[in-house]
Amino acid sequence: MKTIAFALLLLATAPVQAQATYEQLMNVKFTDRSCSMIDQWVTWTETQLRLKGLLGVDPEKMSNEDRLYNVRARSIIWALRIGCSNPDRYK
Amino acid sequence: MKSLAFVALCAVATASMADCYTKSNIHLTRQAIDAGPTDFQQTVTPDARGFKCSVRYRVHIGRDWQTAEGSAVATTESEACTRATDVGRGQLLLEVEPNTVSADTELVCSDQPEIRVRRVHVGDRIWESETDLHILPAERKYFTYKGTQCRTFIERDARDQNMYLYQGIMCKEDSRPNTKWLVLDKY
């Protein structure tokens, strides 16, 4: 419940464009219900990457810290894209 | 004289481009294959009985992608190639090791592009077996994204005394059986 509340809080603050920390990204969790907001989630996560200057950057050219941030953000994006399009995949 | 020199030059160029293997006596069984067969490359030649089709393809066995080849003869091209594609007819091809080549070694050569695991970038069009399967078996399954067949892959990069492991997403360009894959993301 806490994680959902945290996730909703993150989305609610999205227009402010405060960059999420790596720890905050690590705390983002999803449920089946998250799929109804997949577009907002993907946009929000891509915004975090853009704010950090990591959108479209080759991962081989990133610092270790940026690489971890990038992995977490892209894992969120693809977990949503894959999970929401293939609901039986992880059952 | 000029034309002779040209022919000789062509022969040398062709030989240097050809990708050769030795045909092993290891016959494929479906049980041993983790993924594939995929990335089919076929060659059809006329034969006294109709057509001979040789099909080279990739199978994932154990930890690696390996190249295999099957061949068949039939009265029609499509029948020959359908039979040649049957994994039960396939034999693993082994890379040529100069020390082990003897007079009776059967060399199998082809001018078709050699397929190997390599470093890829977002936007690359690649063969499926140019990337490694994901380490976790649960992540190896194909999935659908925007109506196309996709899968995750991993890429190992040893550099600066470190081993980096990247993950990526690639999707088939269309639903035809032997089309290339587009690298959508790597992170």
Q: Of the candidates A60, A67, A89, which has its C-beta nearest B141's C-beta?
A: A89
pLDDT, one tens digit per residue, over A49-91 is 999 999 999 999 999 999 999 999 999 999 999 999 998 887 6
Backbone φ and ψ for B67, nearest 5 degrees, come out as: -95, 135
Query: How do residues B32-89 score in pLDDT, each as one tens digit?
Result: 899 989 999 999 999 999 999 999 999 999 889 999 999 999 999 999 999 999 988 8
Examine the pLDDT at B14 and tell me if it is beyond 50: no
Q: Please name which of B153, B124, B107 lies closest in space to residue B15, comparing C-alpha atoms.
A: B107
Contact B185 A74 (CB under 8 A): yes
H-helix or E-strand containing A6?
helix A2-12
Q: With beta carbons under 8 A apart, name residues in chain A contacting B167.
A: 71, 75
pLDDT of res. A7: 56
Model-level pTM? 0.80
Dihedral-angle region of residue A42 (phi above 0 means left; psi in -120 to 50 means alpha; beta otherwise) = alpha
* Sequence spans of domains, chain A: 19-83
B164 Cβ under 8 Å from any chain A Cβ = yes
Interface A:B, Cβ pairs < 8 A: 30
Residue that has been written with the tokens 């449920």 in this structure: A31
Chain A residues contacting B, CB < 8 Å?
A: 58-60, 67, 70-71, 74-75, 78, 81-82, 85-86, 89-90
- Quick: pLDDT tens for B116-172: 999 999 999 999 999 999 999 889 999 999 999 999 999 999 988 889 999 999 999
| B121 contacts on A by Cβ (under 8 Å) | 58
Nearest to A86 among B138, B143, B157 (CB): B143
Distance between the two ends of chain B, CA-based, in angstroms? 57
CA distance B172 to B182: 6
Contacts of B141 in chain A (CB under 8 A): 89
> What pLDDT score was predicted for residue B21?
83
Q: Which of A71, A86, A89 lies at the smallest CB-CB distance from B187?
A: A71
B36 φ, ψ to 5°?
90, -170
| Nearest CB to A70 within list B144, B145, B187 | B187
Give chain A positions within 8 Å (CB) of B157: 60
The alpha-carbon gap from B160 to the nearest alpha carbon of chain A, in Å, equals: 12
